[in-house]
Amino acid sequence: MAVFPTDYVLERFLEEGNEGDLLFMHHPLLMECGDPKGKWGQGFLPIKEKYILQVKKKKLSIYTCHIPMDCHKKLGTNVAIASALKAEIFEREILNEIKNDFLLVCNIDKTNTDELVSTLKGIFEVPYIDFEGKKFNEIQRIAIVAGCGDKVDWMKEAERNGVQAYITGEVHCHIDNDYGKQRYKEMIEYASKTSMSLIGVSHSASEYLVHKTLMKDWFENNFDIKTVLIPQEK
């Protein structure tokens, strides 16, 4: 199980996999998202042909599940994060104007921005996070959007519903093209006005958690198979 088909992930699968083995991923293509403290990324990149040919030759399989996993109510990327935070998920009917399947609003035990950031760094095993917005001494209501949550409209939906901390894979788009630069500009403008703490924990890390927890248990409980987790190299 992995998130993106990076060269590292595919090489490990090819090295360790035997005929009939399955690589279950969230994304069918690598999206090089870029580093908030380093080099910007190139965006979507194709799988190298040599890896596709080797997968076929070894009679291995690859299956990806993207959108359904992002909004699944039991095995979803957002639900996995809520579970790790021991959060209470709000029923959408009681929220204001939220019709977005990818935005999960929850209550957590009272904390503050610095403590929440420290907790998230531990959960996602990242050395730093991407941060914008305000810091709070008391946080109880959060929004969760795994992956690309750098959408101003979604953040405004969360803000209208009293969210104090917005947790996502990416606060900023760090893709080095016109699209990425425009998205970055929009977010900088919004972040200067927001009333929330905006916390980005890495696109890949935010989506890997569901594999490591809910999906691992689901595979092992429903099938007599062994699971192997392949976290992204960075």
Give the C-alpha distances (Å, rounded to integers) separating 82 from 64, 102, 222, 227.
Answer: 22, 13, 23, 23
Residue-level pLDDT at 207: 98
Tell me the pLDDT tens digit for each residue of 201-232: 999 999 999 999 999 999 999 998 999 999 99
Distance of CA 8 to the CA centre of its chain: 19
Q: Rg (Cα) of the chain, in Å, rounded? A: 18
Around 105, how many Cα atoms within 13 Å sit in the side-chain half-sphere? 23
The fold of 72-206 is 3.40.1390
pLDDT 10s digits, 13-72 = 999 999 999 999 999 999 999 999 999 999 999 999 999 999 999 999 999 999 999 999
Angle at 215 between CA 197 and CA 36, to 5 degrees: 35
Where do the structural domains in the chain lie, given as residue ranges? 7-67+208-222, 72-206
Best CA proximity match to 126, nearest among 13, 232, 6: 232
More confident residue, 234 or 170: 170
